[in-house]
């Protein structure tokens, strides 16, 4: 169980970033991209908007990945903070 208050805060931050990543992933942009293609409309403007949506889809995926990476890092920091607190609390060297 986490005992260090810093670790708890880091885990809270990680959880909030993971929630946002899940929300971003839940954007129904795949379907939007599918319906925004030439089967639906054909024009230079439509083509441009379709291409931009494809790029946005990629960016959103990367953003969600980045958020999870950041969350993972924070969790690692939390683990480290917990371990540091435990060692600091130990008044006698183990070995």
Q: Which residues bind another protein (CB under 8 A)?
A: 1-3, 13, 16-17, 19-21, 23-24, 26-29, 31-32, 35-54, 56, 59-60, 63-64, 66-67, 69-70, 72-77, 79-80, 82-84, 86-87, 89-95
CB atoms within 10 A of CB 48: 10
Pairwise CA distance, residues 93 & 41, whole Å: 73
Calculate the CA dihedral of residues 26, 66, 16, 82 and round it to 10 degrees. 140
Q: How far is the CB of 12 from another protein (least distance, A)?
A: 9
Q: How far is the CB of 62 from another protein (least distance, A)?
A: 9
């Amino acid at each position: 169980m986490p005992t260090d208050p810093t670790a708890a805060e880091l885990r809270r931050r990680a959880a909030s970033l993971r929630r946002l990543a899940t929300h971003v992933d839940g954007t129904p942009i795949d379907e939007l991209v599918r319906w925004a293609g030439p089967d639906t409309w054909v024009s230079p403007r439509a083509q441009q908007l379709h291409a931009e949506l494809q790029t946005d889809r990629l960016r959103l995926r990367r953003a969600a990945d980045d958020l999870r990476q950041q969350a993972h890092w924070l969790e690692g920091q939390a683990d480290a903070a917990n371990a540091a607190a435990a060692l600091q609390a130990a008044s006698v060297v183990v070995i």
